[in-house]
Amino acid sequence: MSEALLKNVQERLNEEKWTRATLSNYSTSQFKELDLILKEAMDDRSVADEVKKTCDEHLIHTKNSIIALYLSGMIALSRRIIDDSALTNLVTIFVDNHKWNIVRYLCERILDCGESKFALRTLAECYKNDHEEEAVYGVWERLVRVDLEETDITKALAEHFEKDGNLESAVEYYKKSLHRYINKQTFTNVKEIWDKLLDFCPEDLDFFLHLEKKIAKNISEEKSVLLLQDLCKVYKKREDIDTTISLLKIMLNYDEKDGQARKEIVECFRTKYAGHSQLEEYIRVCNLVQNWRNIHEAITDFEKHIAFDKGNFVYHRTWGVGRIAKVQGDDIVIDFAKRRGHEMSLKMAVNALQTLTKDHIWVLKATWKKEKLYEKIKGDYLWALRTVIKSFGNSCDLKRIKAEFVPAVLSAGEWTSWSAKAREILKSDPSFGVSPEDIDIFTVRERPISIAEKLFNEFKAQRHFFDRVATLRNYITQKDVEADSEYFTEMFAYFSGYLKSYSQVNEYVIASYLLVKDLLGQYPHLGPAPELNFLELFEAVEDMPAVFASLKDARFREELLQHIKLFVPGWVDVYVKLFPYALSPSIISSLKNEPHESKLVSMTIHCFENYRDYREAVVWLFKNSREEPWFQKAEIPFEKQLITLIHILDISYREIENHRETSENRKINKQAYAVLFKDGLLNNYIGDADRDTIIRLYTFINDVKDLDPADKFNLRNRILEKYPDFKFFGDVIDKTAAVKGLIVTKAKYEEKQRQLARIKNEELPANSQEIGFALSLGDLRENAEYKAAKEKQEILNATVAKLEDEINRAQLFDPRTVNTSRVSFGTRAILLNVQSGEKEEYTILGPWESDPENRVISYRAPLGVAIFNKTQGERFDYVTEDKKITYEVEDIAAVDFSTPETA
């Protein structure tokens, strides 16, 4: 069938050439016949390739062949090949000959494969010629979504919708055109559309403020000020004094010598503070109207002074919150809780006091009953978040919020659940935003923010490349965002910028290439694909394993591996080199089949032989692949595999102790420990091992000094179960390990947990109430109740910290593992005092169970350390109070843990 199809195409091309068919002979029906050929050819990629090759060869000597141009162009378009010159030439031929019905058909066929600027423009011309005005506007809407530089048509669409009374769509397209005219720096058009939008949506202040910054940057600050003047007039007319003042401050930031703006801001202050008793005096004192005074300093000075008026709140770092009782001349009188009628000069007040609004969280904590504030915070998250954030200059992080609520209002336990919901609200509620400089700083929006702008602000605030990737991916998953928005194109430009200028190919360039390629596949209108191919980028990478390891994104890692397999000729060797860093199942699945299995086997042997360099890879291979046939072909003895894992455990402990790559070594340590101990691998293997093998294994285990003593005890007991007469040469307690671990009985562990819960849930909240009551009594310098409560708080917090540390280090002792061949945890030893001939009996437990009066001693106490690991009949010396005593161990027995005293 393929031969018949190719023959058909060749015959059509020859016929077209020999008969010299004129354009007038062509109709849409002939192109529909060619579409049938295309449909049949596209079922088999190789056939389509042959058809394209035949047509391309034909075009070399017959460049205007309609059939060749159409078939070659459509196949290229279906393959998303960038070169669309064949179809462009074909459409142009029919446009020049005014065959509009064919032009329309061709454009529609091109658009069947995806949006095309050329096809959309030409199709709009077809509709114009046929006087189909509504169809023209429909095509234009599609065009401006893919052609982000098109300005005049965008403006024409806005005017069209304005004429039709569709103001929502008109505003949308006026905004788009305004962005684009700013980019083109055509201020005349910018001014025209700015004025239009001031009429249609003056309340959209955030939009105008965002655009004025862009105008100042792209055109000039002077032009930005001109537009701000118009915006200022609108808000002044609306009697929105606060917004007008904010706009005037922006204008003065651009030009502090702007006399008119200075005059207007003074008038606004006079309007805003018309009822203030000291208004004119403060304007005079701060030299607000004197041109010689720096305007920004004058405004800051004035706003400090104007807050001092009768009835306003202030804060002093020692006396707390107070209320201004009287302002008289240069003196003010303030009522603090325990210092009523306190007098100070205005100058001193401005320097020593912080002015507070009546809804500041400190004022509410001082004036509301605690129960009322507690209920409000617990029941109204939005109010609580807005209140605290606005209390601190509309710029606040969760640490600050927690400091205000815990422990004064909420307990630590209540904060955990409260903050989880608060985070979700801050993330999703449109009335909150983030600072462009710091992703952790939240702000309150006077006007709700769109999800698109919220994510865009988060994108700008992110400090790290891969965090920005995550934000962009989050953006494109949202339902209500547009792929042709200025926000999206600006975020896209950030990553495409990495591909336009780079001195070396690092992880950011590779990640940008993968991301841009993916986005262009979803949104072709974003522009042509970068003039790079993956193989060129790959060959420019100096250290691919390092780049791969630096890709802090699992999706990028998998995509990179796929690209290497698709485009790099020697991908097998690259996979082998990358595996220790990738630890990817996809690498294993790609290599485990012939003819690459031998590479995989060699890689496994290499990793085990060089386990110091490939520790994580060895653990991964052991956990995930040791049962695989290809792994077994490496012929690594199982004992050697275990010893290798023990070495890795030991190395990771030492690296952690030396503070080298701590987080990475903790991860490896946890994995190796889980394989050897938690999964019971060593215990099970010892059950089947011979004595010599056990000696070798235990020797290596005993050398791991930081391994928890309980694990060594349990392993030793497992050995003794199989070989009761087994001798542990050189086996003494590791004091360093004992310090790190804490062996405890189950009963004491549960008791300590109950004690910790009681302090955290009962005693600390009660103490917080005591502190709150003491604070309400006023002057802290002479407040005995406050001092006592704070001292108690310090004791409770220290106890909590100590208990939490010990509980975290605690290892529960299993009574079934008691080893009576030596003095150890859970044994009762009878000692003979050789000098006196007296016998002494001691029970060996832990620090929590220690009870010296009843002869229960800790294995970490001086005598416990001296007696530990001693065998029956063994003598040892013990020095106490400068007296040397020689003891002999007469008997060792297991403690009965069924009794309440030792449970």
Are 614 and 580 in contact by the 8 Å Cβ rule? The answer is yes
pLDDT at 672 over 90: yes
Torsion of CA 82, 85, 91, 94, to 10 degrees: -170
Residues in CB range of 333: below 8 A, 6 or more apart: 324, 325, 326, 327, 341, 342, 343
- Residue-wise pLDDT tens digits, 164-184: 999 999 999 999 999 999 989
Q: Give residue 731's pLDDT band: very low, low, confident or very high (50, 70, 90).
A: very low
pLDDT, residue 739, reads: 43
| Average pLDDT over every residue of 19-27 | 72
Asked if residues 243 and 208 have their Cβ atoms less than 8 Å apart, the reply is no
What pLDDT score does 784 carry? 65
pLDDT tens for each residue of 790-834: 888 889 988 998 888 888 888 788 787 787 888 988 899 999 999
Q: How many CB atoms lie within 10 A of CB 608?
A: 18
Q: Which amino acid, one-letter code, is at 100?
A: W
97 class by beta-carbon count within 10 Å (0-12 exposed, 13-18 middle, 19+ buried): middle
Q: Where residue 331 falls among pLDDT bands split at 50, 70, 90?
A: confident
What percentage of the chain reaches a pLDDT higher than 70?
Answer: 94
Per residue in 147-158, pLDDT tens? 888 999 999 999
Tokens representing 200 are 């249609």
Cα separation, 48 vs 122, whole angstroms: 27
Confidence of residue 608 (pLDDT cuts 50, 70, 90): very high
pLDDT of res. 777: 55
54-64 mean pLDDT: 91
Which pairs from 487-491 meet CB under 8 Å and 24+ separation?
487/452, 487/453, 487/455, 487/456, 488/452, 489/148, 489/526, 490/456, 491/456, 491/459
154 contacts 532 by C-beta, under 8 angstroms? no
Least confident residue range of 181-185, 336-340, 494-498, 515-519: 336-340
**pLDDT tens digits along 403-455:** 999 988 999 889 999 999 999 999 888 889 888 778 889 999 877 777 888 88
Stretch 601-614: mean pLDDT: 94
